[in-house]
Amino acid sequence: MSANKETRREPFVRISKRTSISRGKAWGIRGIALLLALIVAGLVIFAIVRLNPVFVYGAMWEGAFGTKTRAWATVRDAMLMLCIAVGLAPAFKMKFWNIGAEGQILVGGISTAFCMIYFKTGMSPFLLFIVMIVTSAICGAVWGLIPGIFKARWNTNETLFTLMMNYVAIQLTSYSVAKWENPPGSNSVGIINQTTKVGWFPTIFGQQYLLNVIIVMILTVAMFIYLKYSKQGYEISVVGDSENTARYAGINVRKVYVRTMALSGAICGLAGFLAVSGASHTISTSSAGGRGFTAIIVAWLAKFNTFTMILISFLLIFLEKGATEIASRYNLNDYASEIITGIILFFILGSEFFINYDVKFRGRGRKGAEKND
């Protein structure tokens, strides 16, 4: 009798995958996770510097939005992050692990810098602008197309292939910097066309980075429509769910791989255009700045919904700017500020587990089983 009870006793914790969850409950879980993250980070802050965490969080806000200049810099960087995440969305939704956004950004940036340097005379600003957009998108598309073709043709490992393409792009960038260095011997391109500002984004309504917002928001809306309502978006979804199902439905999986990676690379190449022409006005091996990897977090947390990516991009950039501010204001080293950022990201990423899985504790399950006996 007792042995029978022992075998029927439920485990203390039971985890099962959710079939569905309401949007309100999902965001409620994320909100609770963010609140817990702030509490834990606050305890860490107090333990390190013995300061009121509220003041520290206030400093983070001021670091990101304290002045008009800082606010627009935050918007600029958030738009760049969003652009990369939008580019990764179709590839990741297809379950094609594009880890090569860094390289695609760099080749887009190289092509933009090339146009700014060699086409600064004899071409109208509007035509130069169009040429930079087209060339950066083409270069990024080619950089995404290569691993796409190899995956479609020979089923190569796209994770390793795209990752290795990053290193090739870094070396191409180093070669370009050495060729265009200014002044000679500086090992730096410097600010391109600093005097004439040829190839720089024009100011709109007095705002230097408003055009960045317009371009990225157009891409964000277009990608949302493409993935949700177009035939190609449907094919991407089916291939991501099951290649065999896609083939059974008559979808050319190879064609979808190639087409989608070209699109993904093109948008990441446009991010390189934004970084060079619309922000730094120079090119270096750090132009991508690791954003190609961070944007993977943005895409996954948003579940490939480009509108949700807007919020997550701003959150990550806010944490980045805020961490820099508290490090300088309270004389903390970079490691301390990165610990705070890491804690917040850990809780936000961890919340996705509770969104995707239902956790149930035994509670009164044992008593119920005994009663039934």
The answer as to whether 268 is a domain residue is yes
- One domain, residues 160 and 213: yes
Sorted by sequence, the CB contacts under 8 Å of residue 74 that are 6+ apart come out as 64, 65, 314, 317, 318, 321
How far is CA 96 from its chain centroid? 15
Contacts 24+ apart (CB under 8 A), 176-180: 176/110, 176/113, 176/114, 176/283, 177/283, 177/284, 177/285, 180/113, 180/117, 180/283
- One domain, residues 122 and 221: yes
- One domain, residues 133 and 252: yes
What confidence tens digit (pLDDT) does each residue in 172-182 have? 999 999 999 98
On whether the CB atoms of residues 112 and 277 are closer than 8 A, the answer is: yes
- One domain, residues 80 and 143: yes
- One domain, residues 35 and 168: no
- One domain, residues 235 and 302: yes
**Model confidence at 298: pLDDT above 70:** yes
What confidence tens digit (pLDDT) does each residue in 266-284 have? 999 999 999 999 999 999 9
Distance CA 342, CA 361 (A): 29
- For the chain, the domain total comes to 2
The answer as to whether 95 is a domain residue is yes
- One domain, residues 253 and 291: yes
- One domain, residues 37 and 87: no
Distance CA 355, CA 165 (A): 34
The answer as to whether 66 is a domain residue is no
The answer as to whether 247 is a domain residue is yes
Average pLDDT over residues 245-274: 96
On whether the CB atoms of residues 236 and 262 are closer than 8 A, the answer is: no
What is the pTM (predicted TM-score) of this model?
0.89
The answer as to whether 64 is a domain residue is no
Which of 337, 265, 252 has its CA nearest to residue 104? Answer: 265
The answer as to whether 177 is a domain residue is yes
- One domain, residues 310 and 223: yes
Question: Of all residues in the chain, what percent carry a pLDDT higher than 70?
Answer: 94
- One domain, residues 340 and 305: no
The tokens for 7 are 């075998």
The answer as to whether 11 is a domain residue is no
Distance CA 165, CA 158 (A): 10
Which residue would you say has higher pLDDT here, 58 or 283? 283
Provide the H-helix boundaries in the chain. 2-8, 23-49, 53-65, 68-93, 101-118, 125-154, 158-180, 210-229, 231-241, 243-248, 253-275, 291-301, 306-329, 334-356, 365-372
pLDDT category, 210, cuts 50, 70, 90? very high
Which residue would you say has higher pLDDT here, 365 or 124? 124
Partnered with residue 361 across adjacent β-strands are 13
pLDDT category, 368, cuts 50, 70, 90? very low
On whether the CB atoms of residues 71 and 317 are closer than 8 A, the answer is: no
What confidence tens digit (pLDDT) does each residue in 122-167 have? 889 999 999 999 999 999 999 999 999 999 999 999 999 999 999 9
- One domain, residues 322 and 345: no
In terms of residue numbers, what domain contains 338? 22-51+332-356
On whether the CB atoms of residues 88 and 268 are closer than 8 A, the answer is: yes
Q: What is the CATH number of the domain that holds 89?
A: 1.10.3470
Distance CA 33, CA 193 (A): 46
- One domain, residues 236 and 149: yes
The answer as to whether 372 is a domain residue is no
Sorted by sequence, the CB contacts under 8 Å of residue 54 that are 6+ apart come out as 42
